[in-house]
């Protein structure tokens, strides 16, 4: 791995781009959980008619969404577009698409 493929962490250890790219989704999960919790709090505050706390919870949820987007864009910038198990398989085509192709082929054969 070349020098351009490595970053230095805050504690001085080397962190590869791949390791950092694998760490970002975990951080993103934390942002998503915090956003979910803040939105639940917002619902409780609305039912209690506590509008000031509701506003703070909504602002926090908006910030968590923004941080989630920034971390996702950082991951894409570091590692390129990410892949998932669904797109890695050869049969990533949806079931309805393959059945419509089969139906079309059967209809043309008549």
Give dist(CA 17, CA 3) in Å, integer: 11
Write out pLDDT tens, residues 1-10: 455 545 555 5
Q: What is the pLDDT of residue 91?
A: 47
Average pLDDT over residues 87-94: 49
pLDDT band at 19 (very low <50, low <70, confident <90, very high): confident
Q: Is residue 69 classed as helix, strand or coil in its secondary structure? A: helix
State in Å, rounded, how far the first CA of the chain is from the last one: 59
Q: What is the pLDDT of residue 90?
A: 47
Report which of 70, 68, 76, 67 is spatially closest to residue 17, judged by C-alpha positions: 76
Q: What is the pLDDT of residue 103?
A: 47
Q: What are phi and psi of 82, to 5 degrees?
A: -90, 160
Asked if residue 24 lies in contact with residue 18, where contact means CB atoms within 8 angstroms, the answer is: no
How is the chain split into domains, by residue range? Answer: 3-82
pTM score above 0.85: no
């Amino acid at each position: 791995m070349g020098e351009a493929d490595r970053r230095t962490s805050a504690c001085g250890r080397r962190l590869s781009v791949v390791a950092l790219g694998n760490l970002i989704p975990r951080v993103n999960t934390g942002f998503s959980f915090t956003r979910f919790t803040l939105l639940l709090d917002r619902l409780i505050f609305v039912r209690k008619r506590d509008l000031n706390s509701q506003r703070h919870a909504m602002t926090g949820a908006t910030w968590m969404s923004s941080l989630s987007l920034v971390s996702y864009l950082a991951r894409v910038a570091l590692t390129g577009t990410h892949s998932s198990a669904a797109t890695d398989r050869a049969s990533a085509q949806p079931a309805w698409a393959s059945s419509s192709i089969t139906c079309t082929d059967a209809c043309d054969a008549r």
